Amino acid sequence: GQLPPPGSLVVANHQGYVDIVSLGSLFPCIFVARHDMRRWPLFGQLAASGATIFFNRDNKRAGVRGVAQVREALKVGATVIAFPEGTSTDGSGLLPFRTGVFQAAVDAQAPVVPAAIRYLELDGKPLYEETRSLVGWFQGEPFLKHLVRLGSRRHVEVAISLGEPRWPPHPDRRELAAWAEEEVFRLLGLPPGTRPRRVGREAAQERGAL
C-alpha cells in the first residue's frame, strides 16, 4: 500500500523490537512504547533519544497522559505507530487489540492505517513457526542475548503490508479497534479471531491500554 498520510495512527501486529527497526525505515514516525523500554540496554537509550512516546501501562493517570501525547502528535501531523496487542507474539495470530491508543485517533479525528509485519527469511532460509524466535523476541530470552545472536546474521527478509486509511469521523475507540484488528488479520492472511500460540511473557499479566 501507499505510505500513510500525515497525521496518521498506524497500528500493527508485534513480534519484537525488529518491528520498530522495520517500520521506522519506511517513513518518519513516532513510536508508542512501554515505559520500561527506557531501561533496556542499548535499545532503551536509542528509543529515548529518538521520537518515542513512553506509555506507563501500570498507571491509569499516566496512561491518560500517554493518550494525550499521542493525540497532540497526530494533530500536528506526525505519523504515530502503535502495537495495540500490548505485547509481542510469535506472529501466528493476533491478540485482541487494546483500545486506549484508538481514543487518541478519535479525539484528533486522525486517519488510522492498519499494517501487517511478516518475517519471511533469515540468511536466505525460510522462517517457520519453530524458527520465528530467531527474529521475533517473545520467548523471554534476555534482550542482549537475542540482539547479539540476531546481529550475527547477515540478512532478514521482511514483508510489510499497509492497508487503506480509515478516515474520520470515527464513532468510538472500541469500534475503531475492532475494525483495525479485522484489517490486520486480513493483511496477514489469517482468519479473524486466530490467536497466537506463543506470546511475550508479559502477556500472562494484565495487558496495558495500548
Amino acid letter for position 85 = E
Q: pLDDT tens across 10-38, in order?
A: 999 998 888 888 899 899 999 998 776 66
CA angle (188, 158, 124) in 5-degree steps: 125
Q: Can you give the pLDDT at residue 151?
A: 64
Tell which residue, 198, 191, 187, has the closest CA to residue 136: 198
Determine the Cα angle at 115 with ends 158 and 105, to 5°. Answer: 150
Give the cell for residue 194: 486466530
Distances (CA, A) of 147 to 16, 88, 135, 151: 11, 15, 9, 6
Using alpha carbons only, give the angle 42, 43, 45 rounded to the nearest 5 degrees.
70
pLDDT tens string, the chain, 210 residues long: the values are 789 999 999 999 998 888 888 899 899 999 998 776 666 665 555 555 557 888 876 778 888 999 999 999 999 999 999 999 988 888 889 999 999 999 999 999 999 999 999 987 777 777 677 666 666 667 666 666 666 666 666 678 889 999 999 999 998 999 999 999 999 999 999 999 999 877 775 433 333 334
CB-count burial class (<10 Å; 0-12, 13-18, 19+) for 2: exposed
**Which residue is listed with cell 500493527?**
12
* Pairwise CA distance, residues 17 & 139, whole Å: 13
Per-residue pLDDT tens over the stretch 53-71: 888 767 788 889 999 999 9
Sign of the alpha-carbon dihedral angle for 144, 13, 7, 210: negative
Torsion angle, alpha carbons of 25, 152, 134, 177, to 10: -20
Residue 169: asked if its preceding bond is cis (omega within 30°), the reply is yes
Confidence (pTM): 0.85
- 3-class secondary-structure state, position 17: coil
Amino acid at position 60, single letter: K
Q: Which residues contact 148 (CB under 8 A, 6 or more apart)?
A: none
**Are the CB atoms for 5 and 165 separated by under 8 Å?**
yes
Give dist(CA 111, CA 168) in Å, integer.
6
In whole angstroms, give the CA distance from residue 118 to residue 16: 12
